[in-house]
A and B are shown apart, each in its own frame.
Chain A
Amino acid sequence: MDKQASQRIAFIIFRILGMIVVGILLWVLGFIIYNGAGVISWEFLTAAPEEGMTEGGVFPAIVGTLCLVVGSMVFAFPVGVMSAIYTNEYAGNGWLVRFIRIMTNNLGSIPSIVFGLFGMSLFVNTLGFGDSILAGSLTLGLLTLPLVIRTTEEALKAVPDSYRTGSRALGASKLQTIGKVILPAAFPNITTGLILSIGRVSGETAPILFTCAAYFLPKLPTGIFDQVMALPYHLYVIATSGTDIEASRPVAYGTALVLIAIVLLMNLLAAFLRRYFGKKIKTN
């Protein structure tokens, strides 16, 4: 066959594939948005579930997810940032750093259900936290730690070395340099990592199955040792094991949409911040 013709055929196939895949992905998104949009109302966001999850809203699940997000970030964010500071600013380039990077990558590739098992064994049973926000937050925090570390490291790497040498030349100590020069410069990008982690944490189901999630709670949590409802787990139970699955479908669509909205918002916010601050740093 003529090589021009074969090129034409190949390129047509690739264009079609591209359209198919984008089509599939938009189909998933569009389906949830189309079916969920009619369900979302102020009441849906602020009321508790009623009538065996077929009516009412998802307020307790939103509060629960919020608790878990805050709890996991309180743990993962400082630890992750400090860990990244160590590997990027102190550790140099030896075998130790390579080892830590491999460990971070590996931790990131462990399936979320394994984190659930681990959280149940360590936090729930061994440390005796029981099914609680604390146990769930620590499990989720551990899960998202690699993401925080990786994004922070990238943020630190993006700070030009001239900042470091300049600061040191003015007589600042290494710690002062980090605290007053590097961290402020890297801060916007670190925030991006934080936001991405929030998106990730709010969607995880498997790790909270056995560490904190409850099917239904009549009241909101009052302390870190309470169980909580959470959006992803709520979607799972009403989609698969509600008392009346057909009747609770609208609530399921609504819950899925709220979940997607959170994740997409976080991602868009991160993208926006990256672009906004990216420009700012360049013009300086």
Chain B
Amino acid sequence: MKRLGRISERMVEGVFTVSGAITGVAILLIVVFLFREGLGLFNSPSVENGYVLCVNAQNTAENLTVAEIKRIFDAEITSWQELGGGNGEIMLFRFEEIFNIYAEEELGEDYALLPEKLGQVIVENPNVIAYLPQQYAPTDMQGVKLLPVGNINISDFFGGKEWIPTATPAPQLGVLPLILGTLLVSIVAILIALPLGLGVAVYLSELAGERIRKLMKPTIELLAGIPSVVYGFFGLVVLVPIVQKVFNLSVGETALTGSLILAIMALPTIITVAEDAMRNTPRAMREASLALGATHWQTIYKVVIPYSASGISAAVVLGIGRAIGETMAVLMVTGNAAVMPHSLFEPIRTIPATIAAELGEAPAGGAHYESLFMLGCILFVITMIISITAEVISKGQPDKGI
């Protein structure tokens, strides 16, 4: 009997041990699944899956970049010369156009003659570039050359300045505007929230009476719990019109609006962490300062603030981390224009907002879908770095026992 008890006890303890590892396992799983989907992006062809680009065999242009393909089809590049080819004017040919040339009957049963006819078009027009479904592409025909497009590469992804994932034939997956948008909104938010937050932290820890403190601190902590979608709604109906009116803009959904709402959301975090750090200043240090004739204010900024510097920095870092990862509020108030940010008064888009807005429409397994997971990976790495930084910084605070 006793033995049975001991065995079952061991088993329960085993369950505890396994549970203990759960957070580590969870992080491992998150890394595996995010990167598995995300890294697939760099094995995807840079034109839409299942489609190819064909040119005349005499065409000498090679190694077109994704951006160049897009500009060709937007008719921004009009001559092969710009791409290192002959000096003919580029002729665009999209698959559907074949039906303007030939009636459906002429293409044979089940479109059996379609590849041949497509091939003819390409052979006859030396300056053509044709965007065709792979199954009909006349790849083995004399005089037709398959344009090698290669896979989406890392430098195009991280260095690209355009985010147009639905562009055909070549989706533009440059994350630079999204990364810069995220950083802009978050950093401005912290610049707004920091002076306010620190001021309140000083007030709470040094000036406020015990009664006010006991009332204010829980209230502020309570506000940290309000769901971000509610802040987003508040931003949408209150801040957006205010920003539009005050700065006389055509739309109120701007980077600044996002920063304001993020600043409001980051305030409770900054205040709580910074106030805790300041209250940790040993009484002996304050008393020593006062005894030397310093005023209360001099004690605050010459003793308390320097002493709690690492705690305050941790508050800043945590605030930035929260701002960078914030999704709903930013999605609702920044206008969601995936362009390189030029000023605070224009719509921008952040990484989390992009994922939230687009994942629902991106077909699973496609380049767009994978690129959104890659954005998730970027976000994950950034927040990991921030969280570890905060941990290292807050360890820097000297111990209380002096």
| A contact set with B: CB distance below 8 Å | 3-4, 6-7, 10-11, 13-15, 17-18, 20-22, 24-26, 28-29, 31-32, 79, 82-83, 85-87, 89-91, 99-100, 102-107, 109-118, 120-122, 125-126, 142, 145-146, 149, 173-175, 196, 199-200, 202-206, 209-210, 232-233, 235-236, 239-240, 249, 252, 256, 259-260, 263-264, 266-267, 271
Contact = CB atoms under 8 A, between A and B. Distances in A.
A236 B332 contact: yes
Interface centre among A32, A114, A205 (most CB of B within 10 A): A114
Contact of B219 (A25, A32, A82, A175): A25
A7 B225 contact: no
B217 to A, nearest CB: 11
Contact of A18 (B16, B203, B238, B328): B203
Contacts of A210: 359-360
Nearest to A86: B20
A121 B373 contact: yes
Given A110-B30, A235-B229, A264-B222, A18 B199 contact: yes
Interface string B369-400: 00011001001100110111001000000000
B29 A122 contact: yes
B23 A149 contact: yes
B112 interface: no
A100 B21 contact: yes
B220 to A, nearest CB: 7
B376 to A, nearest CB: 4
B401 interface: no
B352 A206 contact: yes
Given A90-B16, A111-B383, A173 B9 contact: yes
Contacts of A116: 355-356, 359
Nearest to A125: B364
Nearest to A271: B218
Interface in B225-262: 225-234, 236-238
Contact of B225 (A117, A173, A263): A263
A89 B340 CA distance: 52
Contact of B387 (A6, A21, A32, A105): A105
Contacts of A91: 20
Interface stretch (B45-53, B132-140, B319-327): B319-327
Interface string B290-303: 00000111101100
Q: Tell me the dominant secondary structure on chain B's binding face.
A: helix
A118 B29 contact: yes
Contacts of A146: 23
Contacts of A200: 225
Nearest to A26: B219
Contacts of B196: 17, 20-21
Closest 9 CB pairs of A and B: A111-B325, A203-B227, A86-B20, A17-B199, A82-B19, A7-B297, A109-B387, A18-B203, A86-B16
A120 B359 contact: yes
Contacts, number: 250
Interface residues of B, number: 84
B202 A21 contact: no
Contacts of B267: 21, 24-25
A109 B321 contact: yes
15 contacts: A3-B298, A10-B301, A17-B199, A18-B208, A25-B267, A82-B19, A106-B387, A109-B386, A111-B383, A121-B37, A173-B9, A196-B225, A203-B226, A210-B359, A256-B234
Contact of A239 (B29, B195, B296, B332): B332
A206 B203 contact: no
Contacts of A205: 227-229, 327-328
B223 A29 contact: yes
Contacts of A232: 227, 229, 328
A121 B237 CA distance: 34
Contacts of B82: none
B285 interface: no
B108 interface: no
Contacts of A83: 16, 19-23
Given A105-B387, A260-B226, A175 B359 contact: no
